[in-house]
Homo-oligomer: A and B are copies of this chain.
Amino acid sequence: MTMIDKRIDSVTAVVADIFDGATVMVGGFGEAGSPIELIHALIDSGAKNLTVVNNNTGSGHVGLAALIENKQVGKMICSFPRTANSTVFPDLYRAGEIELELVPQGTLAERIRAGGSGVPAFYTATSVGTPLAEGKELRNFGGRDYVMEFGLKADFALIKCERADRYGNLVYNKTARNFGPIMAMAANITIAQTGAQVEVGAIDPEMVVTPGIFVDRIVTVAYPAQESKLVAAGRSYP
Q: Which residues of A contact B (CB under 8 A)?
A: 110, 114, 117-126, 139, 141-142, 144, 146, 150, 171-172, 174, 205-207, 209
Residue of B nearest to A150 (CB): B141
Question: What is the copy number of this chain in the assembly?
Answer: 2
Counting chain B CB atoms within 10 Å of each CB, the highest count among A114, A144, A171 belongs to A114
Residue of B nearest to A122 (CB): B122
Query: B114, B141, B150: which contacts A121 (Cβ < 8 A)?
Result: B141
Query: B119, B144, B206: which contacts A123 (Cβ < 8 A)?
Result: B119
Query: B119, B146, B209: which contacts A110 (Cβ < 8 A)?
Result: B119
Residue of B nearest to A120 (CB): B141
In the complex, what residues of B have CB within 8 A of residue A172's CB?
Answer: 206
- Tell me how far the C-beta of A49 lies from the nearest C-beta in chain B, rounded to whole angstroms: 22
In the complex, what residues of B have CB within 8 A of residue A124's CB?
Answer: 118-119
Distance A229 CA – B81 CA, assembled complex (angstroms):
58
- Tell me how far the C-beta of A118 lies from the nearest C-beta in chain B, rounded to whole angstroms: 6
Residue of B nearest to A172 (CB): B206
Query: B110, B150, B171: which contacts A117 (Cβ < 8 A)?
Result: B110
Distance A114 CA – B122 CA, assembled complex (angstroms):
9
In the complex, what residues of B have CB within 8 A of residue A206's CB?
Answer: 171-172, 174, 207, 209
In the complex, what residues of B have CB within 8 A of residue A121's CB?
Answer: 122-123, 139, 141, 146
Residue of B nearest to A139 (CB): B121
